[in-house]
């Protein structure tokens, strides 16, 4: 996991060309924010623009991916993302290869508080619970960059 501000994106170019492409995309001005998906490098690197409202954890699950790394970037607002290694969790919904996601029961984890301009890089072994509030539920505009790992991560 990496947590930083987009102003420091160049520090992470060594993590691979796909991650570097995703961070370079985030560092650009995207004009008026609107929900959409943008291909950066085909389906190897793409961006999902999302308008969400943060919410509590009740009735929710951790999610984890095998084929993609997530770069979660906050364009406006604040969001808490809880992260934990999947080895510490109980799977509730088996991995769905078509959607590249498995779900896990809630358990203690590390809360990442992200503000506008911050990003978190989350790897396949890091289950995450996004959309948590930093106080009361509030609107957030975020961009999630999906970065193909190159091969499926076995778990």
Tell me whether residue 126 is in a domain.
yes
Tell me whether residue 153 is in a domain.
no
Tell me whether residue 80 is in a domain.
yes
Q: Which pLDDT belongs to residue 151? A: 47
Q: Which pLDDT belongs to residue 74? A: 98
The tally of domains found in the chain comes to 1
79-101 residue pLDDT tens: 999 999 999 999 999 999 999 99
Q: Which pLDDT belongs to residue 154? A: 37
- Which pair of tokens denotes residue 65? 């991916």
Range of the domain at 119: 2-148
**DSSP per residue, 9-62:** GGGGGGG-HHHHHHHHHHTS---S---EEEEEETBTEEEEEEEEE---STT--E
Tell me whether residue 36 is in a domain.
yes
pLDDT, averaged across the chain: 95
CATH number of the structural domain spanning residue 84: 2.60.120.370
Tell me whether residue 134 is in a domain.
yes
Tell me whether residue 133 is in a domain.
yes
Q: Which pLDDT belongs to residue 88? A: 95
pLDDT < 70: residue spans in the chain: 151-155
Tell me whether residue 154 is in a domain.
no
Query: 88: helix, coil or strand?
Result: helix
Q: Which pLDDT belongs to residue 31? A: 85
Tell me whether residue 155 is in a domain.
no
Q: Which pLDDT belongs to residue 30? A: 86
Q: pTM for the full model? A: 0.94
Q: Which pLDDT belongs to residue 153? A: 40
Q: Which pLDDT belongs to residue 61? A: 97
Nearest to 143 by CA among 70, 57, 64: 70
């Amino acid at each position: 996991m990496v947590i930083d501000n987009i102003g420091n994106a160049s520090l992470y170019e060594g993590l691979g060309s796909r991650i570097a492409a995703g961070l370079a995309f985030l560092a650009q001005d995207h004009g008026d924010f609107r929900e959409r998906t943008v291909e950066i490098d085909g389906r190897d690197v793409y961006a999902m623009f999302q308008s969400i409202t943060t919410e509590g954890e009740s009735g929710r699950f951790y999610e984890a991916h095998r084929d993609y790394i997530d770069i979660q970037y906050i364009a406006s607002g604040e969001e808490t993302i809880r992260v934990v290694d999947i080895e510490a969790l109980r799977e509730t919904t088996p991995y769905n290869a078509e959607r590249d996601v498995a779900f896990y029961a809630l358990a203690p984890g590390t809360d990442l508080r992200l503000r506008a301009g911050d990003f978190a890089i989350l790897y396949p072994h890091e289950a995450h619970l996004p959309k948590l509030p930093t106080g009361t539920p509030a609107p957030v505009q975020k961009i999630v960059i999906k970065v193909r790992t190159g091969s499926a991560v076995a778990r």
